[in-house]
Chain A
């Protein structure tokens, strides 16, 4: 029996008309209808695509443009805090070389967005979560992709968000009141199956089989010989069966928008891994295009390949290692970031803009652009954005939020001197606002721990580490002190849009 999604939709709509008032669900639309609704003029929702590179440690001069080549403009962020910005030049930087010239007007590089808490290997830190491998006692929160997935939909789709990545996850969600890591989908094939089904046979009929299987589990779970721990395990499996059943029961939009990819054994083969990344990007773009989801997160490398050596050693132990790290980021840029923006810019949507224009792509890394060995600092993690989320953010700019005024020098958590920027929480809040959230919505599930309940993302409790002084004797922060002079001044602003970047 061939499954007919349209007749199924019509049936459900018809039933709904008799039984209860069911809103029209996008997930019940045919591919063409779904794409049309998603892309129609005036109803083009912004999408968020986070890309996260584990580890990192690329130094700033390899990521950002040479400031001497720029015509810098300056504007005060607040009295005493002067920021610079400029149009992006051709051949932006060693990482964003001439291959990016065609997309220069759609890219924004932001420098000086400081993750003020001491995250170390805080995977997902650029998305607001800091607790992975970091100090104990850090107030946790979900990452911004999960915040968006929870709040931006008027009707939740079947796949509210995608977390893809072979090794690591860069996404954390709220589950039963706890912050838990989202399992990454490890391969393009898994991703296709999760997003577009990929089942053989009749999904509707198989959903009934799964329903019966759930009953079998229920029967076992009810046995008096099953202990509480085991009952919990059985419940977890039943939850996954329910999710599976939901997917089988739904009609997937844009049926077969891309081919189901083959399984690829990518271990030890970065070239094949790059192919899998590329396919993942295809699937995510297709999912955006078909409105299967509006939020995606992809966690990538770095991965060793012959000649690159051990990343840990490269990051910590050698100046020469920086060349290899640059080589990796040029490679990852070409294979992921550039491909993503190329693909997204090739899709024209109902409002006359491209999918890229209507989205915000954010790429960053785990650790900062340290000039120092053995550094896990997160002061000014390198960031690049593409697209403007349907006009919510400016593009084509290099924005340096580090204070260019005379009092700009501080020190990071290891005591290394650095220029003070803005709290990353502000940037994340600006993104949330750009996607239509209110500050109250964004902060609804954040831990309340400080007089400065502003911005989005994890914060340290105040007083965790005392501030130092700059060369002029002014108090400065050591990465974590919310009561330092700079943050005392900046944090009250962090519940609003971000000047220059936000429109």
Chain B
């Protein structure tokens, strides 16, 4: 049924007038629409539009139309937006649907009317309540301080903490000079009834008054465009190096679990000559070592995980295990004379009842070097000798060893013996022995070898050339096993391998249906191992075996897949095994398109988890965790046959307060939608019921827009495109530099104080720059590496 003219007009008026009709009438203002047609806007006391009254001329025009748009009793601004989209879509497909010319014309008329109403609405907005428009930044600033600053004084969004000056708002792209309507700040404050688009702000409490919003509109419109048009897009990120600035302080750190274990193992190495006895002793000691608490920096729910090597906490359990390892080791290595002689690397037995003083003191000197990681002073040797003499001979060697193993100089990286550099004495140049320890612990996660101690004793570190030779030696470690493992551990952390859930492997009906066709045994632990192993071998390959760069690694097509199911997922034959060249994948699958990155453990993937790992760990973009008040809201949306995974996650994060971060975070995960939770490439996403029934299928849509940095957005549709775009802006390079400081120096980086170190490292990774192997080596030569700054 089509409406007659008068009916249509009445409805039109009813629709428009009904919106906010309950507000008190304050004023009527006559205005012209952008096309020049006159109309009257009726405003309430807050300046909100209550009515739009067409002039008689407009009324006649509308009455002549044959539109079917307004066959409804009420419409919101958001509904008009949807109608517009719908009409545009229908017009586009008119040819395909073979619509008649009349129908097509009617659609166009409808669209025109919708556009008209939208333009009236826009033009009739808050600005009409304040006809005068005097830009006043002081007033704007007061508004923002009152309404926004309580949250944005901290870095709650991707732009960091707000600064209330004009230039900051321009630089941050929150405002576009001269274009209030196109500015995010204005759009968020003005809001819209259904909260479409950017989240309305403020998220809670009373909204900003129309008058204040009008002031902001005026201010933005008054801002002059910089000469030459909009500001150029920001260039690649870099760090500022101030040579005069001391590096950030480093706290005294305890040995990490790995460092402690490796150091204990190194201490026992002299017993290796005893064969089976050594194995027995190591078995007993390692039984105690397994009780060491795991290194992990505790974080609250959903907070960014810190690297485990940054864990510097002490606990009763840790001390108890240190004690038990020390006593057990001491008991075992001193149990027989043969063991004592072997352990002391001597021809005499320092634990015998009649051990000569020179024998005991020589042993104290040797074990002291290994425990303190520097030669003992004469006073220290005397001190320990007296300690030894004060005990029953049957336990003297054992208890002396316990004292060494519980000493702060063994358990901690003290680094307090260097020469002061600069005025206040808090910055120390490390001693050669301290440098040696720093290098071996950084790249081997272990204490120096006797050969390296000897080299230092012979002055190997007295010159820069000597230092360079030492670092080369460290990196040329037999087969580079220790260095490889150290670098592998870094990547394990950056890829969240520890958090990777076990692959269900067909133990639920839904997963079985999802994984159908793959050679996956139920609960197959091999698959979980295989997906990690492939990535670790790829890392080895690019870092150590092919002199690859960061770009090579992040764009890699190499694979060492051995698991048949994984080979099938990657679409390649299995790698033949040790020594063979890697198989080549049909497409680049850097790190973010590998199963180990994509897998969730079940058939449901989690785009936010995927995107978050790229965004935070690989681009070092800060995303604050959800506040405690939001912790209860952080619930993954349940599968819904009507929505794709992407749509489900978008739906729950698209409103304030979530959207302020997720607008930027989610697209990094959405770009990976072409891969399922086993890493298979797909065009269609299936939604399963718990019994394995396919409930629905959706297009896997990975096309999205990422915000690389303020003012830099890119359209991407795959993880590789993210990588390519990010590399152009030097984001992965800068991030890897930051992660390297965190990992190898075991502390948070200070962007200002560590600027020289970070910039030196970043530039090594630029395209055409150094290989990853050289990059890791460069860390040992970075400006802060051989310095120690006291932490107060």
Residues in chain A within 8 A of chain B (CB atoms): 1, 118, 120-121, 133-136, 183, 185-187, 189-190, 193-194, 198-202, 205-206, 209-210, 212-213, 216-217, 220, 223, 225-230, 233-234, 236-237, 240-241, 243-244, 262-263, 265, 268, 304, 306-307, 309-310, 312-313, 316-318, 320, 373-374, 376
Please tell me if the beta carbons of B501 and A212 are within 8 angstroms of each other in the complex.
no
The residue of chain B having its C-beta at the shortest distance from the C-beta of A264 within the complex is: B290
Nearest Cβ on chain A to B717's Cβ, whole angstroms: 28
Please tell me if the beta carbons of B403 and A213 are within 8 angstroms of each other in the complex.
yes
Please tell me if the beta carbons of B790 and A225 are within 8 angstroms of each other in the complex.
yes
Please tell me if the beta carbons of B631 and A373 are within 8 angstroms of each other in the complex.
no
A135 and B790 contact, Cβ closer than 8 Å, known pairs A193-B320, A199-B327, A244-B323: no
A244 contacts which chain B residues (CB < 8 A)?
316, 319-320, 323
Please tell me if the beta carbons of B399 and A121 are within 8 angstroms of each other in the complex.
no
> Could you say which of B95-103, B406-414, B558-566 contacts chain A?
B406-414
8 A Cβ contacts from B300-327 to A: 300-301, 312, 314-320, 323-324, 327
Residue in A193, A216, A236 whose CB lies within 8 Å of B314: A236
Cα separation A252 to B430 with both chains bound (whole Å):
46
* Chain B interface residue bracket vs A: 35 or more
B312 contacts which chain A residues (CB < 8 A)?
233
Please tell me if the beta carbons of A201 and B398 are within 8 angstroms of each other in the complex.
yes
A230 contacts which chain B residues (CB < 8 A)?
251-252, 790-791
Please tell me if the beta carbons of B629 and A136 are within 8 angstroms of each other in the complex.
yes
B160 at the interface (CB under 8 A from A): no
Please tell me if the beta carbons of B402 and A209 are within 8 angstroms of each other in the complex.
yes
Please tell me if the beta carbons of A212 and B403 are within 8 angstroms of each other in the complex.
yes
Please tell me if the beta carbons of B323 and A210 are within 8 angstroms of each other in the complex.
yes
The residue of chain A having its C-beta at the shortest distance from the C-beta of B293 within the complex is: A186
5 A-B pairs whose Cβ atoms sit less than 8 Å apart in the complex = A202-B395, A225-B428, A225-B790, A241-B319, A241-B406
B690 contacts which chain A residues (CB < 8 A)?
318, 320
Interface of B is mostly: loop
Residues in chain B within 8 A of chain A (CB atoms): 249, 251-252, 254, 287, 290-291, 293, 300-301, 312, 314-320, 323-324, 327-328, 331, 387, 391-392, 395, 398-399, 402-403, 406-409, 411-412, 414, 416, 426, 428, 501-502, 504-505, 507-508, 522-523, 601-602, 604, 627-629, 631-632, 635-636, 638-639, 690, 790-792
The residue of chain B having its C-beta at the shortest distance from the C-beta of A202 within the complex is: B395
A136 and B627 contact, Cβ closer than 8 Å, known pairs A206-B402, A216-B407, A318-B690: yes
Cα separation A312 to B412 with both chains bound (whole Å):
40
Please tell me if the beta carbons of B403 and A118 are within 8 angstroms of each other in the complex.
no
5 interchain residue pairs of minimum CB distance: A240-B319, A317-B638, A225-B416, A230-B252, A120-B632
Please tell me if the beta carbons of A133 and B316 are within 8 angstroms of each other in the complex.
no
B505 contacts which chain A residues (CB < 8 A)?
306
Given pairs A194-B316, A209-B399, A227-B790, 15 additional interface contacts (CB within 8 A): A121-B631, A135-B629, A186-B317, A190-B291, A198-B324, A201-B395, A205-B395, A216-B406, A216-B408, A220-B408, A227-B792, A230-B251, A230-B790, A237-B314, A313-B602
A313 and B636 contact, Cβ closer than 8 Å, known pairs A199-B327, A226-B252, A236-B314: yes
A263 and B398 contact, Cβ closer than 8 Å, known pairs A201-B331, A230-B252, A312-B636: no
A310 contacts which chain B residues (CB < 8 A)?
501, 601-602
A306 contacts which chain B residues (CB < 8 A)?
502, 504-505, 507, 522-523
Residue in A136, A209, A309, A374 whose CB lies within 8 Å of B602: A309
Nearest Cβ on chain A to B523's Cβ, whole angstroms: 4
Residue in A220, A240, A316 whose CB lies within 8 Å of B635: A316
Please tell me if the beta carbons of A376 and B399 are within 8 angstroms of each other in the complex.
no
The residue of chain A having its C-beta at the shortest distance from the C-beta of B401 within the complex is: A209
Please tell me if the beta carbons of B395 and A194 are within 8 angstroms of each other in the complex.
no
Please tell me if the beta carbons of B315 and A206 are within 8 angstroms of each other in the complex.
no
A213 and B251 contact, Cβ closer than 8 Å, known pairs A136-B627, A304-B502, A318-B638: no
Cα separation A202 to B408 with both chains bound (whole Å):
23
Nearest Cβ on chain B to A159's Cβ, whole angstroms: 11
A309 and B508 contact, Cβ closer than 8 Å, known pairs A212-B387, A225-B428, A316-B635: yes
B252 contacts which chain A residues (CB < 8 A)?
226, 230, 233-234
The residue of chain B having its C-beta at the shortest distance from the C-beta of A413 within the complex is: B632
Cα separation A227 to B427 with both chains bound (whole Å):
11
A320 contacts which chain B residues (CB < 8 A)?
690
Cα separation A317 to B690 with both chains bound (whole Å):
11
Please tell me if the beta carbons of A200 and B331 are within 8 angstroms of each other in the complex.
yes
The residue of chain B having its C-beta at the shortest distance from the C-beta of A268 within the complex is: B502
Please tell me if the beta carbons of B403 and A216 are within 8 angstroms of each other in the complex.
yes
B387 contacts which chain A residues (CB < 8 A)?
212
Cα separation A198 to B324 with both chains bound (whole Å):
9
A241 contacts which chain B residues (CB < 8 A)?
319, 406
A213 contacts which chain B residues (CB < 8 A)?
403, 406-407
Cα separation A198 to B291 with both chains bound (whole Å):
13
Cα separation A227 to B392 with both chains bound (whole Å):
38
The residue of chain A having its C-beta at the shortest distance from the C-beta of B604 within the complex is: A313
Cα separation A118 to B328 with both chains bound (whole Å):
48
Cα separation A262 to B291 with both chains bound (whole Å):
11
Please tell me if the beta carbons of A376 and B314 are within 8 angstroms of each other in the complex.
no
A313 contacts which chain B residues (CB < 8 A)?
602, 604, 636
A226 contacts which chain B residues (CB < 8 A)?
252, 416, 790
Please tell me if the beta carbons of B319 and A228 are within 8 angstroms of each other in the complex.
no
The residue of chain B having its C-beta at the shortest distance from the C-beta of A183 within the complex is: B315
Counting chain B CB atoms within 10 Å of each CB, the highest count among A187, A228, A241 belongs to A241
B411 contacts which chain A residues (CB < 8 A)?
237
The residue of chain B having its C-beta at the shortest distance from the C-beta of A219 within the complex is: B408
Please tell me if the beta carbons of B324 and A193 are within 8 angstroms of each other in the complex.
yes
A133 and B300 contact, Cβ closer than 8 Å, known pairs A227-B249, A234-B408: yes
B426 contacts which chain A residues (CB < 8 A)?
227
The residue of chain A having its C-beta at the shortest distance from the C-beta of B298 within the complex is: A181
Nearest Cβ on chain B to A73's Cβ, whole angstroms: 37
A186 contacts which chain B residues (CB < 8 A)?
293, 317
Nearest Cβ on chain A to B67's Cβ, whole angstroms: 42
Nearest Cβ on chain B to A469's Cβ, whole angstroms: 23
Nearest Cβ on chain A to B302's Cβ, whole angstroms: 9
A194 contacts which chain B residues (CB < 8 A)?
316-317, 320
Cα separation A52 to B69 with both chains bound (whole Å):
61
A190 contacts which chain B residues (CB < 8 A)?
291, 317, 320
Cα separation A228 to B790 with both chains bound (whole Å):
9
Please tell me if the beta carbons of B314 and A118 are within 8 angstroms of each other in the complex.
no
B291 contacts which chain A residues (CB < 8 A)?
187, 189-190, 193, 263
Please tell me if the beta carbons of A1 and B392 are within 8 angstroms of each other in the complex.
yes
A216 contacts which chain B residues (CB < 8 A)?
403, 406-409
Nearest Cβ on chain B to A180's Cβ, whole angstroms: 11
Cα separation A307 to B320 with both chains bound (whole Å):
37
Nearest Cβ on chain B to A55's Cβ, whole angstroms: 13
Counting chain B CB atoms within 10 Å of each CB, the highest count among A227, A268, A307, A320 belongs to A227
Please tell me if the beta carbons of A240 and B601 are within 8 angstroms of each other in the complex.
no
